[in-house]
Amino acid sequence: MRKIRLFFIVCLIIISAHISVNAAEYKDVLRVGLSYGGSAKATASFSSNADIDIYNVNTEEYIATIDPGTTFTLNAREAMVQCDYFESVTDVVRIESTDTIFYNGKEYRGAFEVRNNGDLLRVINIVKMDDYLASLLGKEMSASWPIEALKAQAVCARNYAITIGGKHSSYGFDICAEQHCQVYGGVSSEAVSTRRAVRETQGVVVTYEDEIVPLYYFSCDGGYTENSEDVWTAALGYLRGKKDIYENPQYATRYNWSVTFTKEQIEDILYKKNKSVGELLDVVIEEKSENNGVIKLTFIGTEGETSITKSSVRSYFNLYSNTFTIERHKNEAEEEETAYPTLNVLTGSGISEIEKPSYVLSSNGLYEISYDAEEEEKIEEGFDSYTLNGHGWGHLVGMSQWGAYSMAVEGYSYKDILNFYFTDIEIAQNVVVEEEDKTEFVTDNEVEIEEPTEEELDAEAESEEFEETENDGNDDIQWSDTGL
Ligand SMILES: [Zn+2]
């Protein structure tokens, strides 16, 4: 047992004797950045249905108590956090209540820390891991999804939250609440089912080679997942691409997709990225991964050629995934004039048009009208538009959320799901967190939550309309910067 900075003691009881998890790795409380950097504002309002106590974070001294039901506004002013309800004494305050706290009208569990940073307020929600996860599941999946899929997602998100440290350390928190990290929405996205999924996977972490590892996920793979090195850089043994025999196209969104770009649209995108090739003549997939993802895409133009690789392909063209084939088109009128010149031969019954592949007998012998010759001519002229026919939504590394949904519908457990999408992992149901000291801030303010019955769960699943979000799991272009 050892003390960690958040004043919790983490005690590991090894149930699976061969799995060893470093206690210091485990996090029971997360600091979630709600407002920072570009999203920071000069004011922030708070209220609660119980007393709110305000503390000076620097000195740990008590500052004030705000009555239940009173909304108060914090202002960033003169390098301090100021408020009409108390004397300003510090640049950073902590806000606690025994009930949930409303920040700008939105309800959250846990405590808040508000800091004046350049006369803008950085707002951090300090929340228990399980409360964080119960909210996240309603955002990253949907409360109406099968329970085993929600449980697989809970484990992925816990692993990720534990291992992500450093991505936002310069801002003083562990993880942001947006798609850049994982989507978290406070109390409003919790449900009976998401609470149950968290409870039934409490303390479960996934290890690979005895380390807790980040478990990546995405919406839909369209048939194949990808190797980590084919999407990012590092080849990680637990992130191996594979044929997905479970993901069901009937459920999955964007299992197949198609998008068409005109030549001008592509020229415009390349120009804006300082990669202009003049007039665009052709777009060629130069390199593919073993699981069909486009690794290198080359653009050929009148002034040269340029290539983009991996995640740039998705981000430049705002594609659902990197897995696609290209159909090249010429406008019909032009095709008749230039791409497919008509050849005629004189036959016994008059002049007749010949079809390819064909040969004509000329004075020099048999002459082949070759496909390649036509192709070269088309490339010289250039194509007018390109249709990308693709599969999947996201970076396709790790767990497919729609695949997890499909497996859960088929009766597989969350462990089956994790073991399918991640290679050579161990699932350690062995991390027990004990509170020894009272924390310096109140996070244990959740209202009483009753155990749900199966009937309640079914009713909830029926009543909830599944909202398809743009959420791509952990996917975001920033993921290419995570050191993988
Ligand atoms: Zn983030």
Report for 131-135, 158-162, 359-363, 431-435: range of highest mean pLDDT: 131-135
- Torsion 49-53-54-57 (CA) sign: negative
Of 436 and 177, more confident: 177
Give the torsion sign (CA, 247, 249, 253, 257).
Answer: positive
Is 80 exceeded by the pLDDT of residue 309?
yes
Dist. CA 174 → ligand 1 center (Å): 8
What secondary structure, in 3-state letters, does 398-425 show? Answer: CEEHHHHHHHHHCCCCHHHHHHHHCCCC
CA of 162 to the centre of ligand 1 (A): 13
Q: Whole-prediction pTM value?
A: 0.77
Longest dimension (CA), the chain: 106
Å from CA of 476 to ligand 1 middle: 10
Q: Residue 180 C-alpha to ligand 1 middle, in angstroms?
A: 4
- Separation of CA 384 and ligand 1 centre (Å): 39
What's the average model confidence in pLDDT over 462-471?
33
DSSP code of residue 477: G
The strand pair at 204-208 and 211-212 is best described as: antiparallel
CA distance 28 to 6: 9
- The overall average pLDDT reported for the chain is 82
pLDDT over threshold 60, residue 458: no
Residues with CB under 5 A from ligand 1 (ion): 176, 180-181
Alpha-carbon distance values, 460 to 37, 107, 119, 130, 323 (Å): 38, 21, 44, 20, 36
CA 167 to centroid of ligand 1, rounded, Å: 7
Distance in Å, CA 17 to ligand 1 centroid: 34
DSSP string spanning 134-146?
HHHHHHHS-TTS-
pLDDT band at residue 372 using 50, 70 and 90 as cut-offs: low
What residues pair up with 211 in beta bridges, in sequence order? 208
pLDDT tens, residue by residue, 232-277: 999 999 999 999 999 999 999 999 999 999 999 999 999 999 999 9
Q: How far is the CA of 163 from the centre of ligand 1 (A)?
A: 13
Please check the confidence at residue 17 and state whether its pLDDT lies above 50: no
Give the per-residue pLDDT at 297.
Answer: 98
Q: Is the pLDDT of residue 457 over 70?
A: no
User: What are the structure tokens assigned to 359, written together?
Assistant: 């040969």
